[in-house]
A and B are shown apart, each in its own frame.
Chain A
Amino acid sequence: MSALVSILDGNTFVVSDRTGNVAGSASEPQGLFHADTRFLSRWVLTINGQRPGVLSVDDLNYFSTQFFLTPSATNVYVNSGISVRRKRAVGDGFHEDIVIENHETQPVDLELRIEAAADFADLFEVKDELAKRGEVYRRVEDGRLVLGYRRERFERETWITATAPQARFDENGVSFLVRIPAQGTWRTCLEVVTAVRTIQRGLLTRTRCGHTGDNGDSRMATTTQKWLDQAPLLSSSWPELPRVYEKCISDLAALRFETGVVPGALPAAGLPWFMAVFGRDSLLTSFQALPFQPELAKSTLELLALMQGGKIDDFRDEEPGKIIHELRLGELTAFEERPHSPYFGAADSTTLFLVLLDEYERWSGDVELVRRLEPVARNALSWIDQYGDRDGDGFIEYKSRNPKTGLENQCWKDSWDSIRFADGRFATLPRAICELQGYAYDAKRRAARLAREIWKDPEFGARLEREAAELKRRFNQEFWLEDRGYFALALDGEKQKVDALTSNIGHLLFSGIVDSDKAGRVAQHLLGERLFSGWGVRTMAEGDTAYNPIGYHVGTVWPHDCSFIALGLRQYGFDREAARLALAILEASVFFGGRPPEAFGGYPRNVTHFPVEYPTACSPQAWASGAPLLMLRVLLGLEPIGNHLLVAPAVPSSIERIELLGIPGRWGRADAFARGLISLSGDQEVRRFTRT
């Protein structure tokens, strides 16, 4: 059970402990965060000087929660005469109802106190423990507490008000001296509002929190219900499967990010560190969600197109035609102490943009968007050859233009120590990671189809196809390690093959760049003992020197990674292997309450018998929540063929039946039915996790 409780709405979220208290510190990610800034770092309730204890926490939905508390004196011999309820809903701040019930036959006098403080830390400051440069201030005015921060013209404030007449504000919080009659109830509402100073309109706020009914805020409840209603309906003989599915759909609803720039919402990457617009994460999540929530893809493509790079900017790693990596709105970004305005340090987002554009059209038939984004797509294709391939060797490689605050690794395994040889040596820069070549191949092949069929430029299409074929030929020649039977993780700065065995080779199957005579050996490695833990494919194989089962990108299992690997396995006809991997990730998801985390430990399944949590994993995380969705596509074999949906199931026999009804696409809505016919050794595991 997580020690933290989170509620969120786009890029506003509250992280507290299980009593509802917030005690954030330089390194502790608790607080009210809005637009990458912590507007409240302390919010601690005491009753007569003591912090109440928790009885239970009721997760009403992703944007509201309820804490049931009692004064800490309660034990098996002493009943508490008082119970406390805190009900909180997030909007552009949060609203909290505090209700205290006196169960005794005598009146009771209480001193309630809420201590409040705000450090206005940029999310990067929380993550990296950095100090502030501006001035923090606080004052009491007009029956409210104002907490503020100013640096030049950058000004942020938090306003706290209360409805109870007993409220007495001071600079450190608010107190209430209350008498509750026998068997009576006392209540107050607290409003915490975020405000941002603007030149003409002064301090600006968009308060959307307000009173919460039993179903939370009605606007958010309505949009969430609409989102859930749009998703296809899943039923299965394995009762846990619909639970995982519903949790993931609901978590993707929570992670939706409305920018106000383009219609609709796109997925933010994950809570708490990545509630922002990302290139790679939003693109891959949108891909995973296509058979379920296709509008995510449209919003993602439209927004990323608007922010496409137009010039060379070393600080931001920007290049003409490049698609962004990440956009942040906090103080460090504002003052250019971080390059995220936006930052372009990803060598795969541009090709993945093209992959999603094609895949979105295959599912939706939205030709109009593909026509509208033709100039953007052409710029992206030019980027591959002009800037992605830095040295003209035909492969995409990266080395940040910004050595101070840029990312050293610009692939999905973006931690500093992820790209290593089998003996643990670090690969030199620039690094040509294998899946970057796969994505480039796929992007060109897919763009060729768009050029022929939609842009009506067959010559351009033919050129792209020739280039893709040549890239595939050279890749299979220059990345293949014949003695090992797998592809190198990368070519390093000296064009040496980086020989670590990693999950990256699975993405090559997904991209289609692998020659068919090599695919079998790649599949064997992916499901072999060194890479396959029993719960999923490890990011790095056991036996390589840098392998660590809890190393972020050098041994953990990432559900999203596995979902693309499984899709690749199916595309190459390895149905049994794909089914085994899909089942493993779905089973692991059951252990995590239906919410697969960003990553979990790579320990062997026969040792741990349960997937081991990774200590700082983001949860929910968009592409982890998307993983079970893509696994369903893999199991059911869903593929658009013209205006029809092909269903070609490959379901393990331990799952007797799966039905997915109302799959949206260019065909309207379609249904998929599947029976489990694939026998897997060890697939009796499923039944162990079935509670019925």
Chain B
Amino acid sequence: MEPRASDLFARIGAEGRDTRLVGTRGTVKFDIRGAGIWRVHFDNGRYLVEASDGPADLVVACDEADFVRVTEGKQNFVTAVLQNRFEASGNVALLLKLNTVLSERAQAREASQELHA
């Protein structure tokens, strides 16, 4: 079964730290249609996930299925935006940074699953 957006945010929130995000600061709001609104606050390698609306430097809007596909590394962020499956407005630099980290993580997770299979 495909994970849900809430599961993914819970997983991301539980980690709370990523050295690849050192130097990255800002808030990204995910407006997941039919699932809810989450904000992720990045502060120099640490981050905090909050299930609430509010101001953000970057707003990403999408359907839940598309969010899951991108977060799981099954679709590239850029093509999701170009296909109009993701809408990103605000600090696009933050989006590109996030894209790199999410896709690296998805690949690392996949590799680890293959190893344990």
Which residues between 58 and 113 of chain B lie within 8 Å of chain A, taking CB atoms?
61-62, 76, 78-79, 82-87, 89, 92-93, 96-97, 100-101, 103-104, 106-107
**Beta-carbon contact of A199 and B93 below 8 Å:** no
Given B23, B62, B86, which contacts A372 in the complex, CB threshold below 8 Å? B23
- Expressed in whole angstroms, the Cα–Cα distance for A55 and B87 within the complex equals 47
**Beta-carbon contact of A311 and B82 below 8 Å:** no
Interface residue range, chain A:
20 to 34
- Expressed in whole angstroms, the Cα–Cα distance for A24 and B89 within the complex equals 33
**Beta-carbon contact of A342 and B78 below 8 Å:** yes
Closest B residue to A262 by CB, please name it.
Answer: B93
Closest A residue to B106 by CB, please name it.
Answer: A311
- Expressed in whole angstroms, the Cα–Cα distance for A457 and B44 within the complex equals 22
**Beta-carbon contact of A308 and B100 below 8 Å:** yes
Residue among B22, B82, B83 with most chain A CB within 10 A: B82
User: For A261, what are the chain B residues with a Cβ–Cβ distance below 8 Å?
Assistant: 92-93, 96
Which residues between 20 and 45 of chain B lie within 8 Å of chain A, taking CB atoms?
20, 22-23, 31, 33
Interface residue range, chain B:
20 to 34
User: For A197, what are the chain B residues with a Cβ–Cβ distance below 8 Å?
Assistant: 84
**Beta-carbon contact of B78 and A260 below 8 Å:** no
Q: With contacts A201-B87, A261-B96, A372-B23 known, is A310 near B82, CB below 8 A? A: no
Given B33, B61, B78, B104, which contacts A310 in the complex, CB threshold below 8 Å? B104
Q: Does A137 interact with chain B (Cβ within 8 Å)? A: no
Q: Does A198 interact with chain B (Cβ within 8 Å)? A: yes
Q: Does A152 interact with chain B (Cβ within 8 Å)? A: yes
Closest A residue to B100 by CB, please name it.
Answer: A310
**Beta-carbon contact of A198 and B83 below 8 Å:** no
Nearest-neighbour CB distance to chain B for A469, whole angstroms, equals 32
Q: With contacts A341-B78, A341-B82 known, is A307 near B96, CB below 8 A? A: yes
Nearest-neighbour CB distance to chain B for A130, whole angstroms, equals 17
Nearest-neighbour CB distance to chain A for B51, whole angstroms, equals 20
Closest B residue to A311 by CB, please name it.
Answer: B107
Nearest-neighbour CB distance to chain B for A536, whole angstroms, equals 38
User: For A306, what are the chain B residues with a Cβ–Cβ distance below 8 Å?
Assistant: 93, 96-97, 100
Interface mask (A293-306 → B, CB under 8 Å = 1, otherwise 0): 00000000000001
- Expressed in whole angstroms, the Cα–Cα distance for A201 and B89 within the complex equals 10
Q: Does A333 interact with chain B (Cβ within 8 Å)? A: yes
Interface mask (A331-367 → B, CB under 8 Å = 1, otherwise 0): 0011110000110000000000000000000000000
- Expressed in whole angstroms, the Cα–Cα distance for A329 and B107 within the complex equals 24
**Beta-carbon contact of A155 and B84 below 8 Å:** yes
User: For A333, what are the chain B residues with a Cβ–Cβ distance below 8 Å?
Assistant: 78-79, 82
Chain A contact surface mostly = loop
- Expressed in whole angstroms, the Cα–Cα distance for A195 and B23 within the complex equals 35
- Expressed in whole angstroms, the Cα–Cα distance for A335 and B82 within the complex equals 8
User: For B89, what are the chain A residues with a Cβ–Cβ distance below 8 Å?
Assistant: 201
Nearest-neighbour CB distance to chain B for A584, whole angstroms, equals 42
**Beta-carbon contact of A329 and B85 below 8 Å:** no
Residue among A259, A307, A334 with most chain B CB within 10 A: A334
User: For B82, what are the chain A residues with a Cβ–Cβ distance below 8 Å?
Assistant: 154, 329, 333-334, 341
User: For A199, what are the chain B residues with a Cβ–Cβ distance below 8 Å?
Assistant: 33, 61-62, 84-87
User: For B22, what are the chain A residues with a Cβ–Cβ distance below 8 Å?
Assistant: 375
Closest B residue to A199 by CB, please name it.
Answer: B87
Q: With contacts A262-B93, A336-B79, A341-B78 known, is A311 near B84, CB below 8 A? A: no
Closest B residue to A260 by CB, please name it.
Answer: B92
Nearest-neighbour CB distance to chain B for A124, whole angstroms, equals 14
- Expressed in whole angstroms, the Cα–Cα distance for A153 and B100 within the complex equals 25
**Beta-carbon contact of B96 and A310 below 8 Å:** no
The 9 closest A-B pairs by CB, nearest first: A334-B82, A153-B84, A310-B100, A310-B104, A341-B78, A199-B87, A311-B107, A306-B96, A261-B92
**Would you give 24 A-B contacts (Cβ < 8 Å), ordered by A?**
A154-B82, A155-B84, A198-B84, A199-B62, A199-B84, A306-B93, A306-B96, A306-B100, A310-B100, A310-B101, A310-B103, A310-B104, A311-B106, A316-B76, A327-B78, A333-B79, A334-B82, A335-B83, A336-B76, A341-B78, A341-B79, A341-B82, A375-B22, A375-B23
Interface residues of B (CB under 8 A from A): 20, 22-23, 31, 33, 61-62, 76, 78-79, 82-87, 89, 92-93, 96-97, 100-101, 103-104, 106-107
